[in-house]
Structure 1
Amino acid sequence: MENLNNNTSDGSGPTLEYLGELVLQGFRNLKRKCESPCTLTQDATRILPPNGVNSREFLCNRLNSTLLPLLKDQLTAMLNLLGPASMKEEPKSKFRRVLEIQPELDYNITQIHSAFLALCPESEPDSDDQTNDQHLKHLKAYRLLEFKKKFESALQRIRNVLQTAFNYVELWRYPGLRGELYKDYEGQTKDVVKCIELTIQHSKRSEMDAIEDCATRAVGAIGRQLGHLIGLINPAAPRRYPFLSRPLSHQPIINLATKATPLIKLTQLFFKKLSKHGIMNCRTLPSFTPMNSYQLERLCQSAENVSPCLEELLISLGELDTTLEDRRLDTLLPIITKSAEDTASTLSASLLSVVLYLIPLIDSLPEQNYYQSWFATWNTQINIAVRNVVQVARDLRDLQYDSEDDSD
């Protein structure tokens, strides 16, 4: 849409084209706001006095009950006003209403940023905040940081919505183009509304829900990795990732992969016991745990930390099989053994939190005893599984050295 100098038409007020230019400028400004939230002043942190638990509670409630719902409404209102059917009648009034909403949206985003800046200052978090907040329930530093991350993810989507809205308004006079653009605009707006709703839900969930969600995702992800490993060992098994590597062809590598199978199965079982199939199935668990933010984050992030270790193990097995004749054992075997050891190390740290903070919350003593015994047995088994992987890897390396000596 061209920037016309003539902003009036026969004394009847701004032209439709001029109003459209103002709307476009408004979308430009909003997009810049979403791209550079860090321009906000740190003075916003003054909203929160030292040890202001009540202020944190107030800000969380304000975000969830007022600011974020208003954000959804503002984005939806602009979408509806700019729809092709809506713009057929009194398009000037629709542009004027959008021009009213845009600064309101700008101010709302500023308020949201200020609230999150007060809840989660951008300076490095104090270690005391992470290790001495076990009593703060949903206001623990880890939970607040996760809340902020969810909003920042939504903000990137909002930026894309604003860009699509800009493109649509710029071409709305062209029927052949605006139809598809509006579909994109509508679809993106609906997606971002869902994302904001999930952000609100995410902040309100209990710690048990947070742990259970992480565990459930881990069970699925590790299950896919286990399927990949089985496909490497058994050519007749269904191939989960046929594009990654062919089935293993060298028996020593197949033996090593076979020894890695219990490790991955035990890793999956660990998280399964933290899901609705295990501890989270107990009926009377409280909503929050005695864990501080550091401990809670370590437990919730353990699934994400374990997955790359297992992935590296699987990829290295495939590479080792295809390059066995090139004598790359000294390079790849240490990667495989380290991946196995790192997996067990990560889970051992999480196991401590489970035993110290989760199991004691179960009000049934027989169930407590069951889970204490189960995790003790699991700990023994995973250590054996790691030792088996390491031992077979060493045997394979020794076999290589023996064959080299014989060839000499």
Structure 2
Amino acid sequence: MPSSTSSSETASSEAALDARAIVDRPGFVRLTASDRPGVAQPVPEREIPQRPWPAMLATAALIFCLALGVWEWRMRAIGLAAGDLGDSPSGWAEQRRRLDAGGVQVAIVGDSRILFGTDLDRYERVTGVRPVQLALPGTNGRYLLENVAHHSSFDGLLIVGISEVHYFGNPPGRATDALARYAFESPSQWSGQQLYVMLSRELAFLDDNYRLSKLVRRLDHGWRAGARGEYGRPWKLYTMTDDRQARMWAPIERPGFLQDHARYAWFAAPPRKLDDAVIASTQRITREAVAAIRARGGEVVFLRPPASGPLHEKQVAALPRARGWDPLLRDAGVQGVYFDDEPAMRGLAIPEYSHVSAACATVYTDAYARALARLTPRVSVRADAPPPLSPADCADR
């Protein structure tokens, strides 16, 4: 009579044979512990089938390259270009830190008008100094002025470009993200910015304004009644190169859908109400910021860049010069240049009513640099500076 021990060993051997038979079965089968009774193996196993892996990898790489090439071609066809480095919070923070390093003679803060309207190369050719560009689109420049005044040791000349409606009434806009990134930038954010800039010098399709996710959202224009799509918001308006040198994007300068859309976007949002309390608060904040910069030996000047057409009329109606610009400068005790007061700043090309064209930005910069040289000893015109420009120099370009 067989012993209980030999019976147990026989059962275990048979279970192991059954398990090996299951394990060895061919095909793409996912094995679990339940398929292997008596075998302690908690991790599931999956057989890798025999396939032409090198050929499959080569095919996938070829499809990827073709798709990438087609998308790059399509983006360049609509006007995007390699070398447009984008305008991220990290890029702004990098320039802001230059003020902390010291030695900066001129810096610029404000909104998109002074950003698009400043040609850094031209300013340098006229004055011998290259400004640090800190203006931001969609931003109330007052918040940037406050940051430089109260959170830096900057003692040079700060140029504040304003659109009164923005400066007096708007929330901070993009300044919130930019200032947060300046205060803290993680290693991944820093490295991501460096990688993006490096690749953007060669590839156009990386433009953040034309990501596929944004393009999909823009398809819905009037399809759903009552739904607010992307058409009421500005799309791509400018290009950005080294030192945050911004220029109006060429397709916006040409008549057509993109120019019409840019014009429409300025009227999509209702105007903000600017009551006396808001104006008084803005004057106080400006006065205190100017005083803080002057206390350490710096100076502040204001610029009102050009605008035109119904947008300019709308903004002047919302805040007339006698209620906004003039009292602001008088209360803070600062000098300023309003574009209507300078012949060289009138009649410039403003394709979408709000920003000067790329060519006219050079003319405007030349004009305001020379105007500032008349107002403050902080700016002087070089002896070998090029001749002054006029609106005629950019009228047909």
- Please tell me the TM-score bracket, short chain as reference: under 0.3
Which structure features the higher share of strand residues?
2
Q: Which has the higher contact order (CA 8 A, sep 6+)?
A: 2
Which structure has greater helix proportion?
1
